[in-house]
Structure 1
Amino acid sequence: MTEQEIHSVVDNIIMEMGLQDCADTKIGNWHLRGISTGEKKRLSIGVETLTNPHILFLDEPTTGLDSASAFFVIRALRNMAYDGKAVICSIHQPSSEVFSLLDDLLLLSAGETVYFGEAKMAVKFFAEAGFPCPTRRNPSDHFLRCINLDFDIIAEALLRYQNICGVPESSSYPVNIKTKEIRETLIQKYKCSELSINTRRRIQEISEEPAIKRNKKINASSWKQFSTLTRRSFVNMHRDIGYYWLRMALYVLISISIGVLFFNIGTDNDTILERAKCVCFAYGFMICLSCGGLPFFIEEMKVFRRERFGGDYGEAVLVLSNFFSSFPYLVAISLLSGTIIYYMVKFHPGFPHHAFFCINLFCCLSVIETCMMIVASLVPNVLMGIGVGTGVIVFMMMASEIFRPVPDLPKIFWRYPVSYISFATWAIQGEYKNEMIGLEFDTFLPGNSKLKGETVLQTVFGVPLSHSKWWDLTALLLLLLTHRLVLYMVLKYKDRIASKFPRLHADKTLQHLAMRVSKAGERLSSFKRHDPQHPLSSQEGLRSPIP
């Protein structure tokens, strides 16, 4: 499609969804107020219709909306149905205005079909079954009252309250017919009705028809997916001050604080440990601040799952686009923080040493950002993500030079293999070599020869000199590549592995629902309120056996 055709499709969808007034308004986030909740619902539906699907499945599109917003959303869906699309949605307790827009209605109760047919004929079906809808009652409320078994729990609680408080038998509390009996009557009525027979006949006809081979969805090229997603991610990072801008300010503030604490450290003998403390302090804080990106990574994962299920792009495109879109920000953080610390502390003089410090810091931050992305793709919410992410960071830092020299670590587990897979170990060892090799320090006794940095590395910090600092940097790059591959594998196979355990998830869900029902009955048994004088069944119009 040409650029003009793309803009034409987008403009048409904006008009169909009734979003002309907010077409140029930002959606909004935690710090920026944008469009309303109803407009966000319509926008989400509009995004799904960009590929012109034949069928739309929507799960509770009106949840959380007021009556006006819910009406506009359903009206937009009805207009799409008029254009030839099949719109299937689940709605809990729609208003009368929303109910009047529905063409067909399917009522389910505990997996049983209570009614399936034209929405406008449902009232007649219930009336013929002996449960007419009162004149002033919303039909959807009446249907739910007839098939929702939770009403029996409420009725029993009210009867217990009646017995405890001595409410006269002539009051309106007693229930004429239990919901369970009403539901069974309606199910049997539907099974024997012409609607059920016609539905089963139609299903049989469709199953016997030859399958229609539809054309496979044509996606954009890989380069188009990568460039579009990279540009969108970069724009989101630029607009959201919490994504990188706020963290960048914190990085600069921490860097200035480190520079003030270790200002112009010098080459005295006492400064050997001070230099090591400064390096560990700097890298430790830089690594810990990366946890601040977890909430935004989790939101990005939610968007990815929705778009991946729609077939818009794959896991590899996300992994690459995320790295390249965040690349400028990580470079800026590394240059700003590295330059401030390096020249305030007066580390090893020379531009090559300064460049290595910044590059080493960039690689370390890139690895930990990827690690946080892996955590974000595994956890269900922000709180758990922060807990798991912090645990991973502390676990990796414990095997580095920050708390104890690597040679002094227990050989089992901590030294082999944790110290070798810890990004902090390679980053700090590389910076130690960059800082110490080539420097000479004063000794305690005046007149003695200078203490070389190589000797300090081996005797004080236990850093091996068998390989250069560039090998440590290479190890960091290999860890970055490995973490990106792990992120790709997690994104690709997580849902497939999770789908292997549906029974366990179903059992936990049933237990949770059973606990909710029992707790609801306990709460209602002790609930006190005044005696209603006029039950809904005594309203003007049709009389119903349901109060």
Structure 2
Amino acid sequence: MLVSRETTETNSSDGGAANFQQSSSRGVRSSFPITLKFADVSYKVKLPDCSVKSRTRGLRNMFTGGPTTLPDLENPVAVIHHHQERTILNGITGWAAPGKILAILGPSGSGKSTLLNALGSRLHHGHGLTGSILYNNLSKPVTKKTGFVTQDDVLYPHLTVRETLVFCSLLRLPSSVPKEEKISVAESVINELGLSKCENTIIGNSFIRGISGGERKRVSIAHEMLVDPSLLILDEPTSGLDSTAAFRLVTTLCGLAAKGKTVVTSVHQPSSRVYQMFDDLLVLSEGRCIYFGKGSEAMGYFESIGFSPSFPMNPADFLLDLANGVCQLDGASEKEKPKVRQALVSSYNNLLAPRAKSASMDTPHTAPNERVIETTKYYGCTRHFSTWFNQFSILLQRNLKERKPETFKFLRVFQVITASLLAGFMWWHSDYRDVQDRLGLLFFIAIFWGVFPSFNAVFAFPQERAIFIKERASGMYTLSPYFIARVTGDLPMELILPTLFISISYWMTGLKPELSAFALTLLVVLGYVLVSQGLGLALGALIMDAKQASTMVTVTMLAFVLTGGYYVHKVPYFMSWIKYVSTTFYSYRLLINVQYGDGVGISTYLGCSSGRQDRATCKFIDEDIRGQIHPAMSVSMLMMMFVGYRLLAYIALRRLRA
């Protein structure tokens, strides 16, 4: 007998449940039970074409003993195309009811994750997916009432548990709900999932010490629980956990199911006590179903068709052996074992499949259709979500908290201070008349603050891709507030380190001892940093692969540096266009203009026109200082690049799909 969600909340003494009931009365939550039915679900993917050259094959067979049919001499390289498809799922049928846990068991590669993606509306008909999937007898997905927990925990590592869930609550719950109540919902979820002890601990990752694996998985579940989903789908939530942590996690899922939720989860190798907690069980083997029914009746079914373990063992281990085609029947030869899987599929099709299909169609749903439509519409309407500015402000706060530890970590600050001190000592109180050395210093500044910010920024979007796709799929925000918050949040932090660099190296190297010159130099460097950062963001968003993007930004900056004007003055004609799109070229010219102006003064002072100075120095003056473009042109080009690179990154993100 199922207990309704409302009854459970009313009679529960848990503080979190009480908060849920209070929130529901204000319209934050409108929970209703969902009966999930799926029949004959299949999924196929197309493989790359296989091309066979007939002449080559015919000649090879002549030497290897194969068929020696002569090839077509008029068409000696005839190509035969084979269009192949791979079946991931093949006619899966079953259902999941409110108040129960449906566990999908099977070895790696059996199709568990694909089936969950189909049930969670992450695969669509017409793209290889066939069959029917119904939610309370409706084919329209109720995505706003479905929580999907992926196998990998996609969380920000530097945020605490409480910050993670509070920010998620502020973004996912409707804008009509007061901020205090959204925070209260997050706190109630923390209490319900037993995260109170670690709520002020950062999430962490493989490189940063944080909460445990089991706690991290519960945070992922809490992410979805904030919207009080009626259908909760989890992809191998116990992977990587020890048996005790896995048992605690499944106990939590049982508690959620007891409140009227429909829970569907895949498991790889559960312990015996975890297995006993599953109400219904679906066993997959290479995309085919070999059992669907009650978990407690699985062993009896397989025993009835002649498959039973030769010694007492964990039922899950035995079922996985069968799904892998491994049979422990006494006297079974090695040649007979590969036939085990075929026998299991045949038995299922003859004994269980007809009953499963019939029962799937006859299973009553527990909520009227009209209520499903109304609730889906309620959650899908954009006016019930946060406004653009609210999304931007929340994302900006989250970005500042997440990025601060990474931006000001010891190694990065040490790198900048060390570079500034090296530059200061190498060009210690350089002489105004030593033009070559000073131009070398200015070009070093242009190189360092071109490569450093662009290389750091190129990892931004590839590293956040999984989080971005997941949160966009959940409807937490639109692209524009995320992008602008991401770019804006980086500005104050990315500009502090170059300010520190210039403040140290400028006075140590003895550059123009005027406050206005120092301010202009700093302004040029800060602007150049922002443009270089935009270049990194654009390349990262376009490529979306950290290694490939870092390679591309390295090659791009190398081209910009070589054509920047200091190393080579006479760039080959076919490469000369690069300098006009080079950020280094324009920033180097502006830095020169701040120190030497139009170059007339230094040229006259050194006597280049009268031949009193060496030829090399005068050549640098003529080609680097006096031969520069107008500063207004350099500023205009850098401003265009500042906007253009970020616009390119935004367009690239718009094309990004899960």
Query: Structure 1 CA distance, aligned partners of 2:331 and 2:412?
Result: 60
Residue 19, structure 1, aligned to residue 180, structure 2: no
Query: Structure 1 CA distance, aligned partners of 2:399 and 2:584?
Result: 28
Query: Structure 1 CA distance, aligned partners of 2:217 and 2:540?
Result: 25
Q: Cα offset for 1:46?
A: 0.9
Q: CA offsets, 1:336-371, max 9 Å, x none? A: 112222222222343333222212211222222233
Q: 336-345 vs 28-37, which deviates more? A: 28-37
Aligned to 1:197: 355
Q: Cα offset for 1:190?
A: 1.8
CA contact (8 A) 1:287 1:368 kept: yes
Q: CA offsets, 1:99-119, max 9 Å, x none? A: 112222221222212122222
Residue 187, structure 1, aligned to residue 363, structure 2: no
Q: In 2 relative to 1, CA 35–436 (structure 1 residues): closer, same or farther, beyond 3 Å?
A: same
Aligned to 2:392: 226
Query: Structure 1 CA distance, aligned partners of 2:334 and 2:414?
Result: 68
Q: In 2 relative to 1, CA 448–397 (structure 1 residues): closer, same or farther, beyond 3 Å?
A: closer
Residue type at the aligned position of 1:252: I
Query: Structure 2 CA distance, aligned partners of 1:206 and 1:493?
Result: 41
Query: Structure 2 CA distance, aligned partners of 1:196 and 1:392?
Result: 62
Q: Cα offset for 1:465?
A: 4.7
1:288 aligned to which of 445, 451, 458: 451
CA contact (8 A) 1:226 1:317 kept: yes
Aligned to 1:260: 425
2:250 aligned to which of 74, 82, 87: 74
Aligned to 1:393: 557
Residue 495, structure 1, aligned to residue 657, structure 2: yes
Residue type at the aligned position of 1:436: Y
SS of residue paired to 1:415: helix
CA contact (8 A) 1:429 1:463 kept: no
Q: Cα offset for 1:479?
A: 0.8
Query: Structure 2 CA distance, aligned partners of 1:98 and 1:371?
Result: 51
Query: Structure 2 CA distance, aligned partners of 1:210 and 1:17?
Result: 31
Residue 355, structure 1, aligned to residue 502, structure 2: no
CA contact (8 A) 1:256 1:340 kept: yes
Residue type at the aligned position of 1:186: L
Q: In 2 relative to 1, CA 266–458 (structure 1 residues): closer, same or farther, beyond 3 Å?
A: closer
Q: Cα offset for 1:438?
A: 5.4
Query: Structure 1 CA distance, aligned partners of 2:272 and 2:363?
Result: 34
Aligned to 1:333: 497
Q: 190-199 vs 282-291, which deviates more? A: 190-199
Query: Structure 2 CA distance, aligned partners of 1:243 and 1:391?
Result: 27
1:428 aligned to which of 588, 592, 615: 588
Query: Structure 2 CA distance, aligned partners of 1:314 and 1:54?
Result: 24
Q: CA offsets, 1:130-179, max 9 Å, x none? A: 11245521111111111214x59xx9xxxxxxxxxxxxxxxx99746744
SS of residue paired to 1:475: helix
Residue type at the aligned position of 1:74: V
Q: Cα offset for 1:203?
A: 4.8
Structure 2 unmatched runs, 5+: 1-176
Aligned to 1:10: 186
SS of residue paired to 2:529: helix
Residue 52, structure 1, aligned to residue 232, structure 2: no
Q: In 2 relative to 1, CA 458–96 (structure 1 residues): closer, same or farther, beyond 3 Å?
A: same
Q: In 2 relative to 1, CA 195–445 (structure 1 residues): closer, same or farther, beyond 3 Å?
A: closer
SS of residue paired to 1:495: coil
Structure 1 unmatched runs, 5+: 156-171, 497-547
Aligned to 1:277: 440
State the number of aligned residues: 467
CA contact (8 A) 1:70 1:98 kept: yes
Mapping 1:75-474, distance limit 5 Å: 75-134=251-310, 136-149=312-325, 151=326, 175=333, 178-194=336-352, 196-199=354-357, 202-203=360-361, 212-213=372-373, 214-215=376-377, 216-217=379-380, 218-240=384-406, 246-268=411-433, 271-290=434-453, 291-292=455-456, 298-377=462-541, 382-405=546-569, 408-412=570-574, 414-416=575-577, 418-437=578-597, 440-441=601-602, 442-443=605-606, 459-461=622-624, 464-467=627-630, 469-474=631-636
Q: Cα offset for 1:415?
A: 2.0
Query: Structure 2 CA distance, aligned partners of 1:430 and 1:254?
Result: 21
Residue type at the aligned position of 1:283: A
Q: CA offsets, 1:5-54, max 9 Å, x none? A: 12221122112221121122222356652211111111111112222233
- Percent of pairs identical after alignment? 23
Query: Structure 1 CA distance, aligned partners of 2:361 and 2:564?
Result: 65
CA contact (8 A) 2:451 2:557 kept: yes
Q: In 2 relative to 1, CA 294–258 (structure 1 residues): closer, same or farther, beyond 3 Å?
A: same
Q: In 2 relative to 1, CA 92–377 (structure 1 residues): closer, same or farther, beyond 3 Å?
A: farther
Over the aligned positions, Cα root-mean-square deviation in angstroms equals 3.4
Query: Structure 1 CA distance, aligned partners of 2:317 and 2:250?
Result: 18
Query: Structure 2 CA distance, aligned partners of 1:436 and 1:30?
Result: 50
Q: CA offsets, 1:423-445, max 9 Å, x none? A: 22221122222222156334268
CA contact (8 A) 1:443 1:449 kept: yes
Q: Cα offset for 1:261?
A: 0.9
CA contact (8 A) 2:283 2:290 kept: yes
Aligned to 2:108: none
CA contact (8 A) 2:458 2:549 kept: yes
Residue 482, structure 1, aligned to residue 648, structure 2: no
Residue type at the aligned position of 2:555: G
Q: Cα offset for 1:402?
A: 4.5
SS of residue paired to 2:624: coil
SS of residue paired to 1:247: helix
Q: CA offsets, 1:194-252, max 9 Å, x none? A: 55434356359999x97953224443111111111111111122234x66653233212
| Bigger proportion of residues as helix | 1
SS of residue paired to 2:234: strand
Residue type at the aligned position of 1:275: R
CA contact (8 A) 2:458 2:538 kept: no
Query: Structure 1 CA distance, aligned partners of 2:565 and 2:394?
Result: 41
Q: Cα offset for 1:312?
A: 1.1
Residue type at the aligned position of 2:490: S
Q: In 2 relative to 1, CA 55–205 (structure 1 residues): closer, same or farther, beyond 3 Å?
A: closer
Query: Structure 2 CA distance, aligned partners of 1:193 and 1:173?
Result: 26
Q: In 2 relative to 1, CA 254–409 (structure 1 residues): closer, same or farther, beyond 3 Å?
A: same
TM-score (norm 1): 0.76
Query: Structure 1 CA distance, aligned partners of 2:527 and 2:404?
Result: 21
CA contact (8 A) 1:264 1:346 kept: yes
Q: 293-302 vs 257-266, which deviates more? A: 293-302
Query: Structure 1 CA distance, aligned partners of 2:301 and 2:543?
Result: 47
SS of residue paired to 1:322: helix
Query: Structure 1 CA distance, aligned partners of 2:581 and 2:587?
Result: 11
Q: In 2 relative to 1, CA 311–267 (structure 1 residues): closer, same or farther, beyond 3 Å?
A: same
Residue type at the aligned position of 1:86: T
CA contact (8 A) 1:244 1:329 kept: no
Residue 43, structure 1, aligned to residue 219, structure 2: yes
